[in-house]
Amino acid sequence: MALKDVVSGTRNEAGIAAVLTVLKRDLGEKFQTGQSFREQHAHTTTYLTTQLPDGVAFVETADDVKTVVKACAEHKVPVIPFGTGSSLEGQVNAPSGGISIDFSRMNRIIEVNAEDLDVTVEPGVNREQLNTYLRDTGLFFPIDPGANASIGGMASTRASGTNAVRYGTMKDNVLAVTAVTANGEEIRTGRRARKSSAGYDLTRLFVGAEGTLGVLTSVTLRLQGIPEKIAGGVCTFETIKAACDAVIMTIQIGIPVARIELLDEVQIRACNAYSGLGYEEKPTLFVEFHGTEETTALQSQQFAEIVAEFGSTDFKWTGDAQERNKLWKARHDAYWASRALAPHLDGLSTDVCVPISRLADCVVETQRDIMENNMLAPIVGHAGDGNFHVLVLFDGKDPDSVAKTEAFVARLNRRALSMDGTCTGEHGVGQGKMSFLEEEAGPALDTMRAIKRSLDPDNIFNPGKLFRL
């Protein structure tokens, strides 16, 4: 996170005025310019400075999206896609003004192909809505970031979640998208076939682009069958290193764990208080297995043997759905639980990801950094793929506290990069991690810029994100 990267861009005042007139005429009540609407569409869940758009288009169809993009392209005015606003790195800010496209009304599930295990949805569909709709089909969509994010936003930030160790991330689960490009026309990046060698992989280009190459109008997703049996468990360790080493061994041996989450002692204290749990305040693993009655029992037994080697003596296993749901509800509420530790402070959630073999090193060094600097910063991670989060609680009104926090985040990112990791496992870059992407990508950033200039020559799609041209 770096406040220095949240800068104002050049405003095209004449173009903005022209676009406001056009969209008021063409969209009617679906286009709003009131202060409250604009403020709602510039907020972030961080302390980053808000930068308001000049208007908000509540699109309902792909044709509405085309109308907005064509008007903005003609007058060279920025377009900023908006899903649910749960972004963590300033992705929905409008540094050069422009038009925010709100997808909350484009929330239809277009087509379910149960036999092919795929579904096509509009970008405003959120993950909980999708899985509720799919329940009767015996299928589900496994990607589950902590927020109830929109599918469009999840695709745009290449999101992940607790199930990634078994089911992958958004890049593994998006088969195709449709997107409105700079000429105002809609393209389809792929078909529903599970593999193809037909030309460039445009789907992967748009997944993770954070709205900088075009505006998504639909997303086709892989689905999974709901497992016959789901079992979960929890175990504690004396040290965070022992917990991490147990995760590494579990992955290396090849136990097909579905979810394996790491919570440090501070995070456990927060979850106990917020979610009514009663676990010891020690480094803890939450784990889940998917399969049959026989396979989940076997996997749980194998896991129990591994954690015992690393000093855990209290592995608690359950196949009870209510107990398991309580456990994972607590995990998904970890952000709010952490905020409740110090409600008077601001919270900055940041993440990094390292090769699984370096997870213990990175987490231990990070925890030492937190302690040496007397910070309140719980750690929670998708430990199965080397990704972990730190929620720093700090005083956003105190410049010294902000500077201390930013210095910590910089050290964390560079620590991950030094271990051949990445500055962001799933939060994306937005504005907050532009400097660290530059360090991570090196000369490859010039290639990204070339792609951006080719597909968006006037820089209208979410400008001021990922990198500066």
Q: Interhelix angle for 62-75 vs 13-27, to 10°? A: 150
On the question of pLDDT at 404 being above 70, the answer is yes
Cα gap 340→336, rounded to integer Å: 6
Question: Binning pLDDT at 50, 70 and 90, where does residue 2 land?
Answer: low
CA–CA–CA angle 454, 460, 466 (5° rounding)? 75
Per-residue pLDDT at 150: 96
**Bridge partner list, 222:** 118
Query: What structural domains and CATH numbers belong to the chain?
Result: 3-104+450-455 (3.30.43.10), 109-225 (3.30.465.10), 229-431 (3.40.462.10)
- Average pLDDT of span 287-311: 93
Q: Are 224 and 142 in contact (CB under 8 A)?
A: yes
Residue 97: partners with Cβ closer than 8 Å, 6 or more residues away: 11, 12, 16, 52, 53, 54, 77, 78
Beta strands in 141-192 (DSSP E): 174-180, 186-188
Per-residue pLDDT at 88: 87
By C-alpha distance, which of 216, 65, 222 is closest to 155? 216
CB neighbour class for 281 (10 Å; exposed up to 12, middle 13-18, buried from 19): middle
Per-residue pLDDT at 98: 98
- Average pLDDT of span 445-460: 97
On the question of pLDDT at 351 being above 90, the answer is yes
C-alpha radius of gyration, the chain, whole number: 22
- Average pLDDT of span 65-77: 98
Question: Distance between the two ends of the chain, CA-based, in angstroms?
Answer: 20
Q: Are 312 and 262 in contact (CB under 8 A)?
A: no
Cα gap 416→394, rounded to integer Å: 22
CB neighbour class for 152 (10 Å; exposed up to 12, middle 13-18, buried from 19): buried
Distances (CA, A) of 83 to 92, 126, 216, 427: 9, 9, 11, 14
- Average pLDDT of span 419-432: 94
Question: Binning pLDDT at 50, 70 and 90, where does residue 47 land?
Answer: confident
Q: What is the DSSP letter of 49?
A: P
- Average pLDDT of span 404-430: 96
Phi first, then psi: what are they for 449, rounded to 5°?
A: -60, -40
Per-residue pLDDT at 392: 96
Per-residue pLDDT at 161: 85
DSSP H/E element including 215: strand 215-222
Per-residue pLDDT at 173: 96
- Average pLDDT of span 280-289: 94
On the question of pLDDT at 329 being above 90, the answer is no
Cα gap 179→216, rounded to integer Å: 4
Distances (CA, A) of 223 to 106, 190, 194, 387: 21, 17, 12, 23
Structure token digits, residue 187: 């393209």
Q: What is the DSSP letter of 226?
A: P
CA–CA–CA angle 304, 310, 311 (5° rounding)? 85
On the question of pLDDT at 43 being above 80, the answer is no
Q: Are 43 and 85 in contact (CB under 8 A)?
A: yes
On the question of pLDDT at 1 being above 60, the answer is no
On the question of pLDDT at 462 being above 90, the answer is yes
Mean pLDDT for the chain?
94
On the question of pLDDT at 330 being above 80, the answer is yes
Structure token digits, residue 101: 């496209």
Phi first, then psi: what are they for 377, rounded to 5°?
A: -155, 90
Per-residue pLDDT at 44: 66
